[in-house]
Amino acid sequence: MSPTIALLTDFGLRDWYVGTMKGVICQLCPKATIVDICHAVEPRNIMEGALMLYAAHSYFPRGTVFVAVVDPGVGTSRAPVVIRSRGCYFIGPNNGLFSFIVGQDPKAQCRRLSDSRYWLPNPSATFHGRDIFAPSAAHIAGGVDWKKLAPDHESPVCLSLPRVAISSNAVSGIIIHFDHFGNAITNIADSDIPADVKNVRAGGLNIGKLVHTFGDVAEGASLACRGSAGFLEIAVRNRNAREKLGLKIGDKVTLEIARGRKK
């Protein structure tokens, strides 16, 4: 089976950046299958990129090489790294972009990409995606031992992720992302959602009961459900919840429990 290289960036599709990275990969590892996860991450939004990468990564085959580039500090002292986690490789800047990946895998290994023999010559200070990350991914996908590209260990930088507050009568978190449809994704994981939720509140608004899916409520009604990414979501059926409810990143979300916390 051909190796898989998956790309996630904030580059958009208007410019040549994504296509150029693919060209580098095709030259160095022509047998690779290149998959685009997303190139519409909000510019410089590391948290959004980290969440999108986490939501997608587990659906790829073992051995996949992920290249993630949301890199406002490109060309500075921030390190280029490769992380090995659960049989896959994650390449990009050490700026918190892999926070969810390493946070869910205590055995994840992080190393600094430092052997320039595996980079393009004379790397640009402003396009490490092309000159460092893409060629590194191609070499690893082509069979080069990842430790040759990254002989030294590096401590992964992790974002300061907000914690979920859990008590006997409530579970509280915050909104951390809005998807394309305006659905609000929270930091409350499925495993933190109790069995007996009597009411959900978000941004000071009453959302209602936890439901199974969008179609369980009337057109234009608000709802809370377990989202496909593994986190609680706030939505409005066939509407943009961000706009209709006036929600924003950081808004508090509370699950009120009927009779003490249950799993």
- As given in the structure block, the two tokens for residue 171 are 């579970």
pLDDT at 262 > cutoff 60? no
Q: Which domain holds residue 72?
A: 4-153
Domain membership flag for residue 200? yes
Same domain membership, residue 107 and residue 30:
yes
Share of the chain above pLDDT 70, in %: 98
Same domain membership, residue 13 and residue 131:
yes
Lowest average pLDDT, out of 8-17, 51-60, 136-145, 153-162, goes to: 153-162
Same domain membership, residue 171 and residue 115:
no
pLDDT band of residue 1 (cuts 50, 70, 90) is confident
Instruction: Indicate the pairing of strand 109-112 with strand 152-153.
Output: antiparallel
d(CA 186, CA 170): 15
pLDDT for res 91: 99
Mean pLDDT of 48-76: 98
Residues 9, 104, 81, CA angle at the centre, nearest 5°? 45
Domain membership flag for residue 80? yes
What's the half-sphere exposure (Cβ side, CA atoms, 13 Å) at 217?
Answer: 21
Mean pLDDT of 179-195: 96
pLDDT at 260 > cutoff 70? no
What are the residues whose beta carbons fall under 8 Å from the beta carbon of 221, sequence distance 6 or more? 208, 236, 237
Domain membership flag for residue 160? no
pLDDT band of residue 161 (cuts 50, 70, 90) is confident
Same domain membership, residue 18 and residue 46:
yes
Q: Residue 81, SS3?
A: strand
pLDDT for res 263: 47
Mean pLDDT of the chain: 96
Same domain membership, residue 93 and residue 21:
yes
pLDDT for res 261: 47
Report which DSSP code applies to 258: S
pLDDT for res 204: 94
CB 50 within 8 A of CB 96: yes
pLDDT for res 162: 81
Domain count, the chain: 2
pLDDT band of residue 223 (cuts 50, 70, 90) is very high
Domain membership flag for residue 159? no
Same domain membership, residue 179 and residue 129:
no
21: CATH: 3.40.50.10790
pLDDT for res 200: 98
pLDDT for res 151: 97
d(CA 157, CA 125): 21
